[in-house]
Structure 1
Amino acid sequence: MSNQLILIAEDEHEIAEIIGTYLERAGFRTVTAADGALALSHFQHFKPDLVVLDVRMPKRDGIEVLRVIRQSSDTPVIMVTAMAEDVEKISALRLGADDYVVKPFNALEVVERVKTVLRRARPGPSTHGRQLTVGALIIDETAHSAFVAREAGRSAIPLTQTEFTLVAHMARTPQRAFSRAELIDACLPDSDTLERTIDSHISNARRKLELAGIAGFLETVRSVGYRLEPLE
């Protein structure tokens, strides 16, 4: 983990410096950006392993930066917000954020969130070489990627790390209904994720599957939660 690069996009210099100091003490490399435009420039140039992204920044705010990142990359993103309103958190999650923290926060909390999100993004030893197929959906757990099978080959589905983790977990037992609490325990055990947050991640994943031509695979099970590949 000591080689991983974290982009800190934060316009408050003192906060950026504190986050950077704690991350570097934990063995990470860091690069900072004080506005949204520079954050996107750094993202393209340095290709960080994870982005800590403040919502409210000059030039281009964090929501816009996240939207641009998600157009071409599934790099993990943790949003930082000064407002505790759920609407702002859920807005970021719907755009593809992997997690969020609310100011004021303990810098050690940010470090732990970074470690947790990166750990989820990294395939574990038990999944080495494993490929799951559910209909036209292919889950490659080694590459940590999802594909749709087509006659001409297979096309990648741009799931975020959290979306991939949720879909892959359900793909291991297709047609089984999972409650939101089960999905949190299995896929995001080290976070304080709310059940409504799971709804946002599943909604994003469903939309991407449908855009890839896999409609109806991620089904809402009333009063329970979700399942992959609905029963005929």
Structure 2
Amino acid sequence: MSKLTQTGPLINLHQRNSIQEIQVHRHEPIIPPPGSRRKRLGMQVLNGLARLELLLMKDDLLADGRAEKTRTALASEIERTLTSITAALSLHFESQEVSLKKYMQDMSLVTVFPLSAKRAAANNAAPASKDIHSHFHQMNLTNQLVSIALQLQNDLRLTNHKYMAHQLALLYIGGMYLKYKSRVESRFDDVKALTNSAEEPLLSMELTQWLRSLTTDIVTEALFISRPLPTQSSGLIKFLDKLKEPNAED
């Protein structure tokens, strides 16, 4: 008897378990609840204002010496973005007249997007330290600090610590919290001397434990304890809190 008749098929085309289970949505509403519509609008407006703020900032920076073609293209892009935001507001609120100015004031977005607020004729008396640019600046500093600290922790596992002093210096000048600067200063010379002592230097157990403890404290402070980031992001936090509030008009 031929072996072809004794062996199984390479692919079984009739396996029932190859059919995916049908997802059941009978408990989900056909029409999304009002709260979700309100949140979707909020995210849509937030995205539009972020784009508008960037365009307006570009418009201010390039105000002098621009070609007519560039000026016209940028103005058109700004108007399209404004039109998109106002159209989303009109579609959501329907018969109610809710302008971009009123929405920004009601949702605490005036401080977050000062250039857009000015364009929408909404007053902006808030400090610049709470606008979207300050938020991203603080986010960037925190990300840089955490990245360097985590890189130092990973490099402690290597058998060559040649560049530890250089990385520690980057950590020191990379927006580190003041209370940790003295800890770096107290042992930096020791780390530098050791890393310059050989072609493939290795930190001592004491310095390794010290550096691991330092970087762990910095990461914990940056991500879980410190308040600078929430302070810089207070405008966005207020906006997100307002999106959670129940609203009868929705």
Q: TM-score with structure 2 length normalisation? A: 0.24
For the pair shown, which has the larger CA radius of gyration, 1 or 2?
2
Q: TM-score with structure 1 length normalisation? A: 0.25
Higher relative contact order (CA 8 A, sep 6+): 2
Please identify which structure carries the higher strand content: 1
